[in-house]
Amino acid sequence: MNAKTSEPAASAGAPATDWLACPSCRALVYRKRFERADGVCPSCGAHAPLSAARRLEALLDPGSARPLTAAETVHDPLSFADLKPYPDRLSAARAATGHADAVRVAAGTVSGHPVVVAAMDFAFMGGSLGVAAGEAVAMAAEAALARRAPLVLVTSSGGARMQEGALALMQMAKTAAAMAALDEAGILTVTVIADPTYGGVAASFATLADVVVCEPGARMGFAGPRVIEQTIGQRLPDGFQTAEFLLRHGLVDAVHPRGELRRTLAVLLASARGHPDHTGPARAGRDDRVAELPRPAPAPVVRDPARLAVRSAPEVVAAARDLRRPTTRDHLAYWMDTFVELRGDRAGADCPAIVGGLGTVEGRAVVVLGHQKGHTTAELVRADFAMASPAGYRKAIRLARLAEKIGVPLVTLIDTPGAHPGIEAEQQGQAGAIADCLRVFTGLRVPVVAVVTGEGGSGGALALGVADRVLIAANALYSVISPEGCAAILWKTREESPAAARALGLDARSLLELGVVDGVVPEPEGGAQADPAAASLTLRDAVLGTLDELAVLDPAERMRRRRRRLRGFGLPGPTATGTDRARFEDIDEEESA
């Protein structure tokens, strides 16, 4: 392995017991300080390898760890020998680490939340995945399943253990099956990628977790850099396969320093606690916790169009596009007690125009995702002007599926001029990605609330807009096409966009009349731009109140109503509005009382 991953060596000239030289920056570090920081260099932040035992100590609450031991496995199935017989290598590794193989498992708690942790030890034969390691990971998954506790895997491995031949290879499939069982059971899985994670571990359980967090600088990939360089005959770019590279390419959710991992895990575990059986009534399981919480005031939502002022179309368009309005990141900052941003489509890209993650609002676990604009040109550029790529929609689907898996409501915030029009977007399947959003969102069994917070532009907006309830901020708009685009096509000149805006009925009042939205969330005097904090908190209360209304329905009934809502769009008769007003009767009564 390269110098970066080797154990920091005692520096010559300094007392070996007291001082270390950081292998990255060569700074002399007081050994005790280095150990207190769990192997992170205080000068340059480099993360040195951590033994599995130290890792369990660093992650779990003090005194909470109970070691779990995997079943006995075959030791040398092939009677393998290279330069040395395999049993000799095993004995040496066992003597050096004091452990039977490369994975240690413990049940315990993180900030009081029950969890099962399996940690790999690179010091044990390069953390290679043999039968015993595969068995330990599978056992850890089964223990998590039996306890209905989330599973955390800390990976560090060169790949499959060659000395155990095809049986080592099969551990990839064994562990993948164990992860799939946790998916079926709705149990959260998290991987912490430590340097390095390659080959069979990267291509099985490491990347199958719901959330993949990397330590800074940690490298992960299928093929190692040397193999790739030899095969393609090219030098690899700096930083190839590092955590930061993986994040940029949408392959991992986040990069968090070792010192922050416990806090990150605590947020994730708190949000996924006590997942209910989806098929049971919503009142079971986690919703007991919701019931314990103080009931918020009824959602501040206007459901009668007559109570809304009639406004001119150009005024509506200008207000909806005002860059001072709170963005999705602003709402997240105002709303969330705790939050972990989750990034990437896990297929090669992370789209900055859609952001989202998992956390809690007023004590309630939610997955929130939405289009991200910006207040300045620089922020808009960074967010691709909120015009999402297929990777953005695939990220949205990934987060929606996570919400579904762990039984947490989904909230989407819509604010986009439209999906990104471009060559790459088309090559990567923009149309299919949007269509897939629509399909996945129709089938979610968890409560879904969508809010048009600014500009609801066309299919790129609707992709996040299939929900049990769709709300719109009073100054937002929602339209099949931009007024400029409509004018250019039908009036043959963009000058006529005010006329197009009027004709399209894209304002909140018109949309409520059409039943395209179920409620309008009032904005402060002067619009959300005048008082972003107040506007955002009103929106939050509207969302929480709406989620409470939805929580009393069982999932099957919720889904039936969601589909009926979609089916009713444009039909004449009592459900002509698309809003099934009958189901609001009790709420309207409450409101007028």
Please report, as ranges, the residues that interact with Zn ion according to CB under 5 A. Answer: 22, 24-25, 41, 43-44, 46
**Least spacing, CB of residue 441 vs Zn ion, in Å:** 46
Amino acid type, 19? W
Alpha carbon distances (Å) from 30 to 24, 46, 335, 343, 579: 15, 15, 42, 36, 67
Q: Which residues contact 372 (CB under 8 A, 6 or more apart)?
A: 327, 328, 329, 352, 353, 354, 355, 383, 386, 415
Q: How far apart are CA 509 and CA 525, in angstroms?
A: 17
The response to whether 214 counts as a known ligand-binding position is: no
Alpha carbon distances (Å) from 77 to 71, 124, 160, 174: 16, 19, 15, 17
What secondary structure letter does DSSP report for 518? S
Q: Return the structure tokens found at 63.
A: 């005194």
**Least spacing, CB of residue 218 vs Zn ion, in Å:** 16
What secondary structure letter does DSSP report for 236? P
**Least spacing, CB of residue 27 vs Zn ion, in Å:** 5
**Least spacing, CB of residue 243 vs Zn ion, in Å:** 17
**Least spacing, CB of residue 42 vs Zn ion, in Å:** 8
What one-character-per-residue DSSP string does 102-118 give? SEEEEEEEETTEEEEEE
Between 25 and 552, whose beta carbon lies closer to Zn ion?
25
Q: How far apart are CA 521 and CA 475, in angstroms?
A: 9
Identify whether 196 is preceded by a cis peptide bond (ω within 30 of 0).
yes
Between 44 and 537, whose beta carbon lies closer to Zn ion?
44
What one-character-per-residue DSSP string does 323-349 give? TTS--HHHHHHHHEEEEEE----SSS-
**Least spacing, CB of residue 8 vs Zn ion, in Å:** 9
DSSP-derived 3-state class of residue 2:
coil
What secondary structure letter does DSSP report for 162? G
What secondary structure letter does DSSP report for 258? G
Between 11 and 24, whose beta carbon lies closer to Zn ion?
24
**Least spacing, CB of residue 154 vs Zn ion, in Å:** 22
Q: How far apart are CA 479 and CA 271, in angstroms?
A: 34
The response to whether 437 counts as a known ligand-binding position is: no
Instruction: Give the Cα-Cα-Cα angle 588, 591, 592 (nearest 5 degrees).
Output: 90
Burial of 185: CB neighbours in 10 Å, binned 0-12, 13-18, 19+: middle
Between 37 and 587, whose beta carbon lies closer to Zn ion?
37
Burial of 376: CB neighbours in 10 Å, binned 0-12, 13-18, 19+: exposed
**Least spacing, CB of residue 240 vs Zn ion, in Å:** 21
Q: Which residues contact 453 (CB under 8 A, 6 or more apart)?
A: 325, 326, 328, 331, 370, 413, 414, 415, 473, 476, 528, 539
Q: Return the structure tokens found at 445.
A: 């069994």
Q: How many CB atoms lie under 10 A from the CB of residue 518?
A: 26
Q: Return the structure tokens found at 392.
A: 């953005």
Amino acid type, 288? D
Between 31 and 148, whose beta carbon lies closer to Zn ion?
31
**Least spacing, CB of residue 37 vs Zn ion, in Å:** 11
The response to whether 22 counts as a known ligand-binding position is: yes
Between 34 and 339, whose beta carbon lies closer to Zn ion?
34
Question: 160 with 168: CB under 8 angstroms?
Answer: yes
As a 3-state breakdown, the chain gives helix, strand, coil percent values, each rounded to 5, of 45, 20, 40
Between 41 and 539, whose beta carbon lies closer to Zn ion?
41
Between 41 and 168, whose beta carbon lies closer to Zn ion?
41
Q: Return the structure tokens found at 229.
A: 């360089």
Q: Return the structure tokens found at 19.
A: 């001082």
Between 41 and 125, whose beta carbon lies closer to Zn ion?
41
**Least spacing, CB of residue 262 vs Zn ion, in Å:** 22
**Least spacing, CB of residue 45 vs Zn ion, in Å:** 7
Between 3 and 12, whose beta carbon lies closer to Zn ion?
3
**Least spacing, CB of residue 217 vs Zn ion, in Å:** 11
The response to whether 41 counts as a known ligand-binding position is: yes
Between 25 and 96, whose beta carbon lies closer to Zn ion?
25
Between 44 and 162, whose beta carbon lies closer to Zn ion?
44
Extract the annotated binding site. Answer: 22, 25, 41, 44
Extract the annotated binding site for Zn(2+). Answer: 22, 25, 41, 44
